[in-house]
Amino acid sequence: MRLTKQRLAIYRELESRVDHPAVQQLYLAIKPRMPNISLFTVYRTMNALESAGMVLRVATWKGHARYDATVEAHAHFLCETCGRIDDVDDEQCPDIMPMLVHGVRGTINRMDIMMSGQCAECSARAKQEAEAGSA
């Protein structure tokens, strides 16, 4: 893959983030620094980076693909309320990987683990709203 300043800027932006952004979010973050960049360029770059194994498409939430610059195997947690995607550290669930691959015959090239539910912030907000409504 040919290295261009646009591709480098897009990759660096993704790598600096932990929020697993969609293409639109990357575009809006880069546009002030590179006014001539197009949304189409960001889409093409993300597809090229994914094909090259440099980024992962981790989830689609409400029709938007989300991306991660961490390509090593790890799990994600998706909040179904706000859409936030967090990495789940191996320390948080150390037995998941061995348990999932136990008994697999063959080579695993990729494994996607996506847990979903409600993040702590949304849970707390929902609890406060419920308490306020019952008061």
Q: What percent of the chain has pLDDT over 70?
A: 89
CA–CA separation, 113 and 88 (whole Å) = 10
Residues 6 or more apart whose Cβ sits within 8 Å of residue 33: 9
Note the pLDDT of residue 64. Answer: 83
Q: What percent of the chain has pLDDT over 90?
A: 56
pLDDT per residue as tens digits for the range 91-119: 666 666 666 666 677 777 777 788 899 99
Domain ranges of the chain: 1-71, 72-135
Judged against a pLDDT cut of 70, whether residue 125 lies above it is answered with yes
Q: Which CATH number fits domain 72-135: 3.30.1490.190, 3.40.1410.10, 3.30.930.10, 3.90.180.10?
A: 3.30.1490.190
Judged against a pLDDT cut of 70, whether residue 59 lies above it is answered with yes
Averaged pLDDT score across all residues of the chain: 87
Residue 79 pairs in a beta bridge with 117
| DSSP, residue by residue, 44-62 | HHHHHHHHTTSSEEEEEET
Residue type, 75: A
pTM: 0.79
Judging by beta carbons within 10 Å of its beta carbon (0-12, 13-18, 19+), is residue 65 exposed, middle or buried? middle
| Chain centroid to CA 57 | 7
pLDDT per residue as tens digits for the range 9-28: 999 999 999 999 999 999 99
Q: Domain 1-71, what fold?
A: Arc Repressor Mutant, subunit A (1.10.10)
pLDDT band at 33 (very low <50, low <70, confident <90, very high): very high
